[in-house]
Structures are given as C-alpha cells and as structure tokens.
Amino acid sequence: MTDKNHADTQWDAIVIGAGLGGMTSAACLAVAGKKTLLLERYAVMRGCSHVFRRNKQWEFDVGVHYMGLCGPGGALPALMKGLALDDRIEWLPLDPTGFDTIRGPDLELKVPAGWDPYLESLIRTFPKDEKKLRFYIKVMRRLGESLDRESVMAGQGTTLSRMTSTMKRAGWAAPFFMMPHAAFLASCGFDPKTLLALSVQDGAPASTPRELPVGMAAALLQDFVGGGAWYPRGGGQMFSAGFAEVVESHGGAIRTNAEVEKILVSGGAVQGDQMKGGEKLHAPIVVSAGDIKKTYEDLVGFENLSAEMVKKVQKMKMSTPLINAFFCVEQDLRQSDNSNYFIIPSWDDASSLMSLQRMSKRLLKPSGRDPVEWAMDYAANQPGYVQCSTRRDPANLRSAPLGHGAVEVQSLAPYDPELWGISGMDIASGEYRESKKYQQVKEIILEGFSRRMEKAYPGSSTRVMDAELGSPAAQERFTFSSGGAAFGLRADWRQSGPFRPGTKTEIKGLLLAGASTYWGPGTVGATLSGVHAASVATGRDLLQEMQSGKVIADKARMSGWGSDFDPLLASRGTAARLKQENKRNRKKRAE
C-alpha cells in the first residue's frame, strides 16, 4: 500500500472509501487494466467489514456476520475465483438445518436452507396457521426468485424500466412488492406473536417491519433460505487483505489515513479529488463508495447538482443505526450449535398490532424521553440478534482463546444524541465518550444485551470477562456515516428496489457503490455494487465474465500468504505490510 505522500496524481480511476463496495470496485478496476487508487480516511481498510482486537486474545467482526450467494454456483465464489482469491477466501457453512434460530419465551423457530424445509419448519412451529403460512411463503418465494441482484443491467436504466422488469418477473405476486412487511403479515391473518416472530429478522438490513417492503424482505430470505448461509474463514478482514493484494499486484495503489475533502467537478464531469490539505488527484472516473448523503452534500456540493437532484438528496432518509455489544466469555462455544439467534425477550408488547406499533415507536423513536428511563425500557424489551464468530470459525484462534468465545449482540437503536446524553458534543474527536450519562446508558444496555446472550448461550452471562458497546455515535465516528447509519439509505418503499440509486449519477464519470445503491444493504449488496461500478466504468459485465468461469486477475503477480499471515496487519498500510513480509522472509532464511 502506498502512503499519503505518494507522488502520483494522475489515475484512470479513483475509489473513495475502502468498505466492501469500494474495495471490490477497486480490485475489479485494477484487474480490468485501470490504473486505480483506493482512498480510505481511516488507518485500516475495512468499512463495516473490519475486525478489531482486544488484549491480543480477542477479535470481533463488526459487520461480516454471515452471507448468502456463497454456495456452489454463487456470485461471491465466482467473484473470488475471478480475482484469483478462491484459494485464500474459503466459505464455511452455517448449520443448513437452522442457520438462524428465533427464540421467544415459549418459542423456538429454526430457519433452514431451502424454501420447502423453511415452510415445513414454520408449519411445525405454528401448526394452526398452515394455510396462512403456505400463502405467505408462496408470495415471498415468488418475489425472492424474481429479483435480479447479480445482473449488471439490474441497476441501470430508468426507474420505470427497472420497475417494469422486476414486476414482470414477479407476475401475480407483484402487487405485494412495495407493501410494508408488517402490513402483509397482518393481511395474512397472523396474530401479533406470530407476526413478531416472522418479522424479527427485518432488523438484519437495519429496518423495521413497518418500513421494510415485502420485496426486500423476500430478497433477504432468497439470499439465505434460497441458498444457505456462509462465513469467510478467518473473518471479514480477509476480504480487505485479499482485495488489497489484488489492487496492488495489478498496478493500483491504496492510501489509508487519506481524507477526501472535495470531488472535483467541471463542466458536468468529474475531474478527480482534492484531499484534506490541498493535494489534487486527477481521474476521469471517481467511484464514491462512502455515505451517499455526504458524497452529494459535502464532497460534490449542491452547486454541482441539478435542482431536481438537490431535492432528491434533501429527501433521502438514512437507515436506523445499529448498536453492537461485544462480550468476551469464559465459556467454550466452539461446540455449540452453529446458528445465529434472534431473541425476543417477552411477548408483553405483542398483545395487539397496535401494541407492537407502540413498542417500535417507544424504543426506536423515543423523542423527549429521559435517557435512563429509555435505556432501561430498551434493555428489557428490544429484540436482539446474537452471533458468535468463534463458533462459525472454530479454528481461528485470533477470535478467542481455547475454551472461550467472542459473542456479539446487535440491534436497532435511535441516533438521537440527547437520548444518549451527548447532545452538542463533538463526534469526530470522541469528546462524547466523556459524558457520564452516555456511559450510564451504555452500561444499562450492555446488561440487557447480556440477557439476550444468555438466551442464546445459557450460562454465558455469568462468565463475561470483558464487554463493550458500540453506539451510533461510534459508528458515525469510525465510518463517517450520516447519523451512524451503517446500512445506508433506509429501506422503505420510497428507497427500495428500483427506487434506490443505481451506479450512474448525473455527473459524467462519477459512479456510486455501497449500501445505498440498488443492490441493497448488507455484505452481499455492497459487494455486488462494487462489481457493477467497475463494470460500468470499463464497459464490461465483469460479474458475468467471472460467473462464466473466467479468471480476470493474474495470479502470478500476487504474493503468497504464509501460515502466520495476519489480515488485519495487511490492511493497515505499506509499513505494516512490509513488516509482515520481512518477518516471513527472515523466518524462511532461518529455516
């Protein structure tokens, strides 16, 4: 990787943001012959796909929890093979008989791979609702199988043409596509408890069932139920290390600690970037893979946009932030069930549809509430998602020491600084962390989330060695996302499917990648968006080429990874990478 003093200022393409969308885009551009520069404002390539470590014994995945489209014939294995990374990125399957488990006080629902096994599991769990469940799955399956997230043409063309193509494929199920998931579940006649159980996974794309359209809920199920759930051996940082290897070995460069101040635009066309400090980098193609509102408002500037586009940007709504609790547990979880858990703490708010609506508003839009009162309510009642990377990849000893486990509990949470006790405090500098109210709120939520962990892994809450909570403010500080929105634009009907931005913009040469694009939020969507951005920039359908079996990267250019390879170190910059290579070379000479 190059450092921030790299002298070259002329490039074929510049990519802003080293999240999954940016890294994938840069790697594909480089192997397609474009002289590519990838810029990352943080010290490590990562976005929401990075890991962090504590006490040299524990490692936590921040965003890569599990992925779809990774089985035989899937888009992501084809991508890795096409980039000559297939011998470095290995896919570990979660339990196909129940990669997700939904638990309530008197409920356990297994979510297996395969639409037919999923329907059978639902009927076993809710036998009185068999007829309703058959209709529900019939609609969800038809919509899920009609979506085209892989074709490079899927995100291009006019809104009308994209909508028409999608609806034609959906056929009779098309009228349900934009209906809120909660409304569709209610129209099927499910009682509030069943509705909550069937919609609790909607939090995975940082949405609520009142917001998430049926079409996007179906896409989520299609990714996982349709083809199984997978996890990359070595954790999410393996993607960063792999893409970095591809970029640099194919004539590209990567700068970390490199903050873009402006995207340069002249005559309606992109000219390159201006860095913080004044340095100008020139390129006819710029891929912005960071926060979409900051891209338009801060980097491009409204003065370079049409009046119509300015209005669109001003109307954009970001997704609800996620909070993450990280627990170091003195309990052997490597032998537990290889499943994720969605924990519903109680049915108290599931007495009626109105009570579910009130719960969502009370916990996620609690304007004016006392911070401590809200935190206690939230800790007691908010459903949580529990996962353990130590179990998914038991051979990865960086995750946790033998006999221990690293556990994460995640859920939606409001951004509201006043609610967190940090109103008026600076986020970028980390000043907010000094707030006593902020720390008190975090402690209350951590204790509540330990109870969610206990429901997934009995006995774990009494064996916590260390714990910390990542708030929406922390998300904003480390990923530069608007309001801590890790999943980009909110997934409601106004910003879903064909109404979500594609790759092209009204500025010639400026392309988009990342969670806010047509391909949707999450690991898979962000990754696909990067391939499509590179495809538009090169005029080639790169994903189709790779899916046909073509290896477009030159493997002979790429360096080997030794047994002591550290993906986090390899993602930190030139000095760290050279240090690792020198260490390996000294070891070889000694042998």
Sequence-distant (6+) residues with CB within 8 A of 3 are: 255, 573, 574, 575
Query: What secondary structure letter does DSSP report for 201?
Result: G
| Helices and strands counted in the chain (H then E) | 20, 19
pLDDT of the residue at 469? 95
Given a contact cutoff of 8 angstroms between Cβ atoms, the answer to whether 400 and 58 are in contact is yes
Within 10 angstroms of residue 147's Cβ, the number of other Cβ atoms is 20
Q: What are the DSSP calls for 505-554, one per residue?
A: -SSBTEEE-STTSTT-SHHHHHHHHHHHHHHHHHTS-HHHHHHTT---S-
Rounded CA-CA distance 196/202 in Å is: 10
Q: Locate tokens 């290889």: which residue?
A: 338
Residue 36: in which H helix or E strand, if any?
A: strand 36-39
Given a contact cutoff of 8 angstroms between Cβ atoms, the answer to whether 243 and 530 are in contact is no
Given a contact cutoff of 8 angstroms between Cβ atoms, the answer to whether 384 and 449 are in contact is yes
Rounded CA-CA distance 15/289 in Å is: 7
Given a contact cutoff of 8 angstroms between Cβ atoms, the answer to whether 255 and 6 are in contact is yes
Rounded CA-CA distance 245/370 in Å is: 49
Rounded CA-CA distance 291/286 in Å is: 14
Rounded CA-CA distance 130/124 in Å is: 9
Rounded CA-CA distance 440/446 in Å is: 10
The pairing of beta strand 260-266 with beta strand 269-275: antiparallel
Both tokens of residue 29?
């551009």
Q: What are the DSSP calls for 452-473, one per residue?
A: HHHHHSTTGGGSEEEEEEE-HH
Sequence-distant (6+) residues with CB within 8 A of 470 are: 62, 323, 324, 325, 326
Q: Closest Cα to residue 192, out of 350, 344, 40?
A: 350
Given a contact cutoff of 8 angstroms between Cβ atoms, the answer to whether 144 and 221 are in contact is yes
Task: Please give the chain's pLDDT, 591 residues, in tens.
Answer: 444 445 578 999 999 999 999 999 999 999 999 999 999 998 888 777 778 899 889 999 888 899 999 998 889 999 999 999 999 999 999 999 999 999 999 999 999 999 999 999 999 999 999 999 999 999 999 999 988 665 544 445 545 566 677 788 889 999 999 999 999 999 999 999 999 999 999 887 888 999 999 999 999 999 999 999 999 999 989 999 999 999 999 999 999 999 999 999 999 999 999 999 999 999 999 999 999 999 999 999 999 999 999 999 999 999 999 999 999 999 999 999 999 999 999 999 999 989 999 999 999 999 889 999 999 999 999 999 999 999 999 999 999 999 999 999 999 999 999 999 999 999 988 999 999 999 999 999 999 999 999 999 999 999 999 999 999 999 888 888 888 888 899 988 889 877 889 899 999 999 999 999 988 888 888 999 999 999 999 999 999 999 999 999 999 999 988 888 888 888 875 555 666 667 766 766 776
Given a contact cutoff of 8 angstroms between Cβ atoms, the answer to whether 558 and 246 are in contact is yes
pLDDT of the residue at 4? 43
Given a contact cutoff of 8 angstroms between Cβ atoms, the answer to whether 534 and 523 are in contact is no
Question: Three-class SS of residue 315?
Answer: helix
Rounded CA-CA distance 146/344 in Å is: 31
Within 10 angstroms of residue 167's Cβ, the number of other Cβ atoms is 18
Q: Is the dihedral of CA 134, 137, 139, 145 positive or negative?
A: negative
pLDDT of the residue at 497? 75
The pairing of beta strand 253-255 with beta strand 260-266: unpaired
pLDDT of the residue at 324? 94
Rounded CA-CA distance 432/273 in Å is: 31
Rounded CA-CA distance 153/543 in Å is: 11
Q: Closest Cα to residue 510, out of 301, 314, 277, 247?
A: 301
CA 298 from centre of chain: 23
Query: What is the C-alpha R_g of the chain?
Result: 23
Rounded CA-CA distance 486/521 in Å is: 9
Question: What does residue 103 show for φ and ψ, rounded to 5 degrees?
Answer: -120, 130
Beta strand extents in 94-237 (DSSP E only)? 100-104, 107-111, 230-232
Query: What secondary structure letter does DSSP report for 559?
Result: P
Rounded CA-CA distance 92/380 in Å is: 34
Both tokens of residue 584?
């390996």
Q: What is the pTM of this model?
A: 0.92
Half-sphere exposure of 222 (CA within 13 A, CB side): 22
